[in-house]
Amino acid sequence: MEYKSETKNCVNCKQDFTIEPDDFGFYEKIKVPPPTFCPECRLQRRLMWRNERTFYRRVCDLCQKNIISTYDKNQPFPVYCQKCWWGDDWDPYSYGRDFDFSRPFFMQFKELLNKVPMLNMQNDDGIASLNSEYAQDFAFSKNCYLTSAGWYCDNAMYSYYTCYDRDVADSFFLNNSERCYECLESDRLFDSKYSRLCFDSMDLNFCYDLRNCQNCFMCVGLRGKNYHIRNKAYTREAYLEELAKENLGKRNNIKKRKEEFNSIILKFPNNFSHIIKSLHSTGNMLLNSKMSRDSFWAGNLENCRYLVFLDGAKDCYDCNNSGNPNLCYECVTPDNSFNNLFSIFCWKCTYNFYSNNCHSSNNIFGSIGLKHAEYSIFNKKYSKENYENLKEKIVEHMKKTGEWGEFFPSLVSPYSYNETLNMDFFLLNKNETERKGLNWKEEKDRNYNITLHQDRIPENINDVGEDILNEVIECAHDGNCGHKCSTAFKLIERELQFYKKMNVPIPTLCPNCRYYERIKQRNSPRLWHRKCMKKDCLNEFETSYAPDRPEIVYCEKCYQQEVY
């Protein structure tokens, strides 16, 4: 069948969006109707199911041990620790129920959601991970702490979306790297700090857009260089001598160099899109991909569209924060799954529809918390024949109610808007959130006493002793930043060891404030139509650099003429 492009009006934001012929082919292949929400509104709806940074102290409702959870104690459903949830002391099928054809599907799913026990943190600590109980959406890792979205890491701290890393902290979208601090949107880095958009490089400090470089300081746009300072070549001896003078273990020196660095990078042109070793693809921060469009912070994609934070995917649309899904659509974290539609945190599943937190299961519909299950609807077992018949009847029912082909409404999520990843991309205040009919969670007063104020934090990491581990350190923002500031923080032992090993001064901001300061630097997951900013160039392109951003943006041809 031959399809034509169609312009639709988003039922949510009322803006027009285009469905192209290949899109129609994909929707036909998986037997769902075309979307009624635009790509941005679809992402916003899915992000309502990801709480990355708001954690609560509570007890496991099974073993009664103290735990940290992404769900507060006022949720209607039980919350279990990792050991209890993955264990055999409870039966998710005991919550099974019949489908009621007189009522909407999403209403019934919400009722089931309010009953079935949930994982305190979405990870596999004690199963395939070790000592990573405070890492949200993490797998196959060890010694990871207060970091979110990643896998196959060792000693990752306070970072977001890290894969195959070792000894990294305060970083964002960093892969295949080791010994890195405050590095963003980079791959294959070693022993580097305060750098962004750097690839296959080592020993970098304050570097931007470097490839195949070593021993560089305050450099931009270099290729295959060694021993450079501010893009000027030095001998090895002179380079090391100059770098030692910088004394980068001292906080005030770091502050000065950050200000200089931020000024320098605005003087150099950026490629309109940072797509590395990829073919026929659009978006930004794409690595080793082909035939994939409108995708961001992802690698190893094939024939995909509208993906965000993916490590490997094939024939997928509208998925986020996942690895190795195949033929999945409108899913949140369908890791290693095949033909998952409208699912949330369902790992290693096949033919899974409208389900949440199910694992290693096949042919399930509208279920929650199942493991190694098959032919189940609303947590109730069926024969294969009865499952297929009932499933088709439910699909027809959902078509009549307008639910089939739509992801879960935002209000079905157990999280309030300001608890979710939406605050990173679609920032709303309380009034704006409530006008949209969404929930807002008021923050409670924090009960602790600050024992180490800013003016007493040692300036140099070499002057810091082990006793700082006992201190409650004041955050410099003091809650006045809108960054979910915790106003104070503590260090853990391996964190202090990392700072000393990397010659990094003790931070003055809490982890939340450090995180939001980092993500200010990255672009949004959408594209704008713009023209090349080089004089007399007429080339146009789609770019993730918004028109109001301060960077200089060039087309590919003009950009390549500028790199060194």
Q: Does the pLDDT of residue 444 top 90, yes or no?
A: no
- Residues 6 or more apart whose CB falls under 8 angstroms from that of 313 comprise 298, 300, 301, 302, 304, 307, 319, 322, 323, 324, 325, 326, 328
Q: Output the CA–CA distances (angstroms, integers) from residue 499 to 250, 433, 461, 502, in the order listed.
A: 12, 39, 7, 5
- Residues 6 or more apart whose CB falls under 8 angstroms from that of 103 comprise none
Cβ–Cβ < 8 Å for 328, 337: yes
pLDDT of residue 398: 98
pLDDT of residue 563: 82
Q: What is the pLDDT of residues 188-211, one digit of tens each?
A: 999 999 999 999 999 999 999 999
Query: Which SS3 state, helix, strand or coil, does residue 5 take?
Result: coil
pLDDT of residue 481: 87
This prediction's pTM: 0.95
pLDDT of residue 8: 97
pLDDT of residue 271: 96
User: For residue 445, what pLDDT band results from cuts at 50, 70 and 90?
Assistant: confident
pLDDT of residue 443: 82
Mean local confidence (pLDDT), 504-510: 96
Kindly write down the DSSP assignment for every residue of 120-147, as one continuous string.
SSSB-BTTTBBS-TT-EEEES-BS-BS-
User: For residue 470, what pLDDT band results from cuts at 50, 70 and 90?
Assistant: very high
Of the chain, the percentage scoring pLDDT greater than 70 comes to: 100
Q: Does the pLDDT of residue 151 top 80, yes or no?
A: yes
User: For residue 448, what pLDDT band results from cuts at 50, 70 and 90?
Assistant: confident
Helix, strand, coil abundance in the chain, percent, nearest 5: 25, 30, 45
Q: Does the pLDDT of residue 95 top 80, yes or no?
A: yes
Question: 25 phi and psi, to 5 degrees?
Answer: -65, -40
Burial of residue 154 (CB within 10 Å: 0-12, 13-18, 19+) is middle
pLDDT of residue 482: 78
